[in-house]
A and B are shown apart, each in its own frame.
Chain A
């Protein structure tokens, strides 16, 4: 199960329709996202982070009617996560934000990055799985063509062709503006 905006949205929509399995899958998928979100922003032990994650999961559950299906799911999720974080800072002096402005800016980058990654994930769904894997390996994870070829067990020219064709398809897709 992925954590793309599209996948999370589908789970949310199914959960709102009363599908308990989808709802549970959604909450489970949010756990790593939220842990990453809070770890980069909150100075506190693992227990504090986990408390925040649980608080947020409860809020996502009890207040799920406030999500507008016409708006992005992740923006709604992070708005709740941010509110819970600020609220925790007010309640517990023990928890403090990672203090300086640079760190908070970096945390904001994380959020933007996460959303960007979700966008990339969404895009990569539109090319073949092999092409997606090769683009990810060589362009996102920073492997060399030789390393990617070894990892996949295929020839280097095969990797190059996959990346080339996949990127071409993506460029066409982005320029076509279809979503």
Chain B
């Protein structure tokens, strides 16, 4: 095709693009995937029966603020990596804040608890399944983010994949809180984070294949 003809065709569908369009598109992908994951929790795993009471206590909110703030920080990095001219994303250190705060809460918890109970507290009732469930729940969210990326222009595909995986994992952990009755900070710090990191790792492996354009 002649380049002039191509330009004419392209210009014919020059729809307006609003500022912040990529942030909105990323959020749309995240929420669409998140809805699927939430449906999987409700139908498959079941919402924890004491959710209404748990929402009145501090532990539930500790878990949610950890996973949600991680998700927000990871999304902020992902938005930057959606642009072609981002060499080094800024604000990576924001990711460390929720981890550090939860580690503090965990340390306080250990101080309060006799050391004979540490192991039971750390492993909880579900340490074997928790990381895998978080990872599984991140899959629909990651798929949603892949849809968002179809209009993006990432040039650092591995980093973009890792950031998208991290966002998906952290948001999946947020959804998983609806089911998970665990109450310990060190449990969350270990097993939730492990699931989230697995999602980020798989994202970094898939990025170069799936994010090409």
**Hey, which bits of chain A sit against chain B, CB under 8 A?**
15-21, 23-24, 27-28, 31, 50, 53-54, 57-59, 61-69, 71, 75-76, 79-80, 82-83, 87
- In the bound complex, residues from chain B placing their C-beta under 8 Å from that of A53 are 3
Q: Is the CB of A65 within 8 A of B22?
A: yes
Q: Mark B9-32, 1 if CB is under 8 A from A, else 0.
A: 011101111010110010000000
How many residue-residue contacts, CB under 8 A, span A and B? 82
**Smallest beta-carbon distance B19→chain A, Å:** 7
Majority DSSP secondary structure for residues of A touching B: helix
What 8 new A-B contacts, CB under 8 Å, besides A19-B14, A63-B213, A83-B155?
Answer: A18-B15, A53-B3, A54-B6, A57-B3, A57-B6, A62-B151, A66-B82, A66-B83
- In the bound complex, residues from chain B placing their C-beta under 8 Å from that of A61 are 10, 14
Q: Is the CB of A27 within 8 A of B10?
A: yes
- In the bound complex, residues from chain A placing their C-beta under 8 Å from that of B151 are 62-63, 65-66
**Hey, which bits of chain B sit against chain A, CB under 8 A?**
1, 3-4, 6-8, 10-12, 14-17, 19, 21-22, 25, 82-85, 151-153, 155, 212-213
Majority DSSP secondary structure for residues of B touching A: loop
Q: Is the CB of A79 within 8 A of B6?
A: no
User: Please, how many angstroms separate the alpha-carbon atoms of A66 and B213 in the complex?
Assistant: 13
Nearest 10 A/B pairs, CB to CB:
A18-B16, A24-B11, A79-B84, A23-B14, A79-B85, A63-B153, A65-B21, A20-B14, A61-B10, A27-B7
A16 in contact with B153 given A24-B8, A76-B83 (CB within 8 Å): no
- Give the residue name and chain of the B residue nearest to A17 (CB): B16
- Give the residue name and chain of the A residue nearest to B85 (CB): A79
User: Please, how many angstroms separate the alpha-carbon atoms of A28 and B7 in the complex?
Assistant: 7
- Give the residue name and chain of the A residue nearest to B6 (CB): A54
